[in-house]
Amino acid sequence: MKYLIDGKWTDGPPSQSVSSEQGVVHRGSFRRRVTRDGSSGFPIEPNRYHLYVSHACPFSQRATIVWALTGLAEVLDLSILDPRWVQSDGWVFGTSALSTNDNGGSGFASLRQAYLASDAKFTGRVSVPVLWDKAMRTIVNNESLDIIGMLNDEFAPLGAVKSDLYPGPLRATIDALNDRTNRLLAGGVYDVAGAESQAAYDLATGRLFGFLDELEQTLGERGPFLLGGTITIADVLVFTALVRFDPVYVPLFRIGGRRLADFPALTAFVRRLFEIPEIAETVRFDHILAHYFDSDWSIPPRRGIVPNLTHMTWHKAPRG
Ligand SMILES: N[C@@H](CCC(=O)N[C@@H](CS)C(=O)NCC(=O)O)C(=O)O
């Protein structure tokens, strides 16, 4: 994939400020905050900020779910990027009927332009989601966990729905689970996809499925949501990865051995969240399939690495 290096659209990894493809979900480079009291220089105001998202991207979907559940549509508008990431320009607007134009008021043709408007010498990935300040014409933040925290906390007075997806007493538990979801599930699927040896593949799939087993057990014991009776951002993170599991990660990221469908409690959990209309509207398989199966990037081929068949029990059943 291409990156910006000193403001130039370039092949290959940028400086070490951007973490590796494997093991970690890279952290956004802009980490500023909108605040209710304006002390950060970014005061909360209706229609001042804008979200750039792709419906294909699980990290963007974290933001669109929280945006929808808190009722922010009237005060924080969206631009939807074209799901097909292109080598020549990265994330772009308006190249198919699936995307919008730049609704942030800058007339950008690609997301790269928003990064360069914020920092002409920017080095790093041009990623979604992005929280943009229309007044200062700069990116406030491009890290989904920060963005959903701000939408829930700082934008709350502007929201049409009074909901709290990140309740104070549960924060430490939510943060700990989110950290593991990021590493073991959202990032974990990339570890499997990128494994270059059988040992690395076995380790990565073992970790990934170990985490899913744990979530499966938690839901069985606690439910209906991961932390009990109310939906939180911890559910949002897990949901956005799981909706892509069987349609994308299994076939394309070559996750062998088990599918989401093999986890009954997790499958019921995904269905439960999907039954919430505001969440269902954010699940756009037209965007998801176009992005993963028809973009200018792909998972490199990998000969000789095979799935673990331990869980495929039918061929072990006694005959007759
Ligand atoms: N840390 C980021 C990760 C976002 C991310 O990886 N977005 C992907 C799309 S799903 C992206 O835009 N990738 C483009 C690139 O890495 O060049 C977050 O959680 O917001």
Looking at residue 20, its pLDDT comes to 38
The CATH number assigned to the domain holding 15 equals: 3.40.30.10
Report helix, strand or coil for 222.
coil
Looking at residue 14, its pLDDT comes to 46
What are the average pLDDT values for consecutive 10-residue runs of the chain, which has 320 residues? 92 48 65 96 97 98 98 98 96 95 96 97 96 98 98 96 95 98 97 96 97 97 94 98 98 95 97 98 98 91 90 78
Whole-number Å distance, alpha carbon 98 to ligand 1 midpoint, is 19
Quick check: is 49 catalytic?
no
Q: In terms of Cα–Cα distance, which of 78, 44, 49 is closest to 64?
A: 78
Q: What's the Cα-to-Cα distance from 134 to each of 55, 138, 177, rounded to whole Å?
A: 22, 7, 33
Q: Are residues 149 and 40 in the same domain?
A: yes
Q: Tell me the pLDDT tens digit for each residue of 196-228.
A: 999 999 999 999 999 999 999 999 999 899 999
- The residue whose CB lies within 8 Å of the most ligand 1 atoms, and thus the one to mutate among 87, 128, 236, is 128
Q: Which residue lies with its CA nearest to atom 10 of ligand 1?
A: 57
Q: Which domain holds residue 37?
A: 8-19+27-158
Residue 29 Cβ inside 6 Å of ligand 1? The answer reads no
306's tokens: 């095979």
Residue 292 Cβ inside 6 Å of ligand 1? The answer reads no
Instruction: Please check whether residue 123 is in contact with residue 4, taking contact to mean a CB–CB distance below 8 angstroms.
Output: yes
- The residue whose CB lies within 8 Å of the most ligand 1 atoms, and thus the one to mutate among 125, 236, 243, 249, is 125
Whole-number Å distance, alpha carbon 229 to ligand 1 midpoint, is 31
Q: Which residue lies with its CA nearest to atom 1 of ligand 1?
A: 27
Residue 126 Cβ inside 6 Å of ligand 1? The answer reads yes
Q: What's the Cα-to-Cα distance from 178 to each of 57, 81, 268, rounded to whole Å?
A: 17, 26, 20
Q: Which residue lies with its CA nearest to atom 12 of ligand 1?
A: 127
The CATH number assigned to the domain holding 239 equals: 1.20.1050.10
Residue with tokens 């020549």: 88
Quick check: is 166 catalytic?
no
Ligand 1, atom nearest to 125 Cα:
17
Q: Are residues 139 and 234 in the same domain?
A: no
94 domain residue, yes or no:
yes
Catalytic pick from 49, 52, 57, 115?
Answer: 57
Enter the pTM of the model: 0.95
Q: In terms of Cα–Cα distance, which of 208, 171, 215 is closest to 189?
A: 208
Looking at residue 135, its pLDDT comes to 97
Task: State the amino acid at position 33 in one-letter form.
Answer: R
Ligand 1, atom nearest to 186 Cα:
19
Helix-then-strand count for the chain, H and E: 11, 6
CA-CA distance, 287 to 278, in Å (whole number)?
A: 17
Looking at residue 91, its pLDDT comes to 97
293 domain residue, yes or no:
no
Whole-number Å distance, alpha carbon 286 to ligand 1 midpoint, is 19
Instruction: Please check whether residue 124 is in contact with residue 3, taking contact to mean a CB–CB distance below 8 angstroms.
Output: yes
Q: Are residues 62 and 143 in the same domain?
A: yes
Q: Are residues 43 and 112 in the same domain?
A: yes
Looking at residue 320, its pLDDT comes to 65
Q: Are residues 186 and 64 in the same domain?
A: no
What are the percentages of helix, strand and coil residues in the chain, rounded to 5?
A: 40, 10, 50
Q: Which residue lies with its CA nearest to atom 13 of ligand 1?
A: 127
Residue 149 Cβ inside 6 Å of ligand 1? The answer reads no
Looking at residue 19, its pLDDT comes to 34
Looking at residue 26, its pLDDT comes to 72
Q: Are residues 154 and 31 in the same domain?
A: yes
Q: Are residues 145 and 15 in the same domain?
A: yes
25's tokens: 């979900």
Looking at residue 28, its pLDDT comes to 73
Looking at residue 156, its pLDDT comes to 93
Looking at residue 319, its pLDDT comes to 73
